[in-house]
Amino acid sequence: MDLKGKTAVVTGAASGIGRATAEAFANAGAHVLLADINDEMGEAAAAALNAQGHGADYFHVDITDAQSIESFRQAALARRGRVDIVASVAGWGKTEPFVENKPEFWRKLIDLNFLGTVMVARAFVDGMMERRSGRIVTVASDAGRVGSLGETVYSGTKGGVIAFTKALAREMARYDVTVNCVCPGPTDTPLMAAVPDKIKEAFARVTPMRRLAKPSEIADAILFFAGPQAQFVTGQVLSVSGGLTMAG
């Protein structure tokens, strides 16, 4: 995979799938703009990439805040002149019965998982349309495809990301801008670390490959959609779940 000369934005880049994606892009030759709200970990991730001889910059970005995203857009373009790839990886969730959810919990899920993805795409798509070139990769979840016990509204937000991806792909196709979605299954991330061991063990048992995904394995799928080999692939949803969900 050769991304030399490309500039890639990765949200949620301080840890987990986001950090693995930033590393994958950097290893492929892209200059990576890491966006997150965790400054300590985000700066450390960017510093590690720079120490390896890659190009990387960290930006504090709250993807639930339109002004924060706009400030990031301006800073990114001032620093690099253009953004070729956007990987919207940032997301959040917590297992809790639907009937115990509070409205503020729903709002956080919607703002972060769905509207954040929408706003980040909107921030950078104009330049891609003007150049008639670009890659947008969203990260949803298999919960958005088949539902997930204890993650009802989370599943709804991720289903929204899937539908948004397909619709945006239709609009962007005439500009040669591709828009695709990666749907991870249970993955060994810091968010998963907060899940009780018995639930993690249950995830592994019901997965045909009998383990959780590694963040790097999700990043590999994101890298594919962002690269030249996927130039005629758009509006697609790829499950990376060890066979957990095989239905369409």
Which residues are designated catalytic?
Answer: 154
Does residue 244 sit in helix, strand or coil?
coil
**What's the 3-state SS for 79-121?**
HHCCCCEEEECCCCCCCCCHHHCCHHHHHHHHHHHHHHHHHHH
Nearest to 228 by CA among 182, 183, 194, 178: 178
How far lies 134's CA from each of 7, 17, 106, 128, in Å? 10, 21, 32, 5
State the alpha helices, DSSP H only, in 132-247: 143-146, 152-172, 190-193, 197-206, 215-226
Which helix (H) or strand (E) element contains residue 123? Answer: helix 116-131
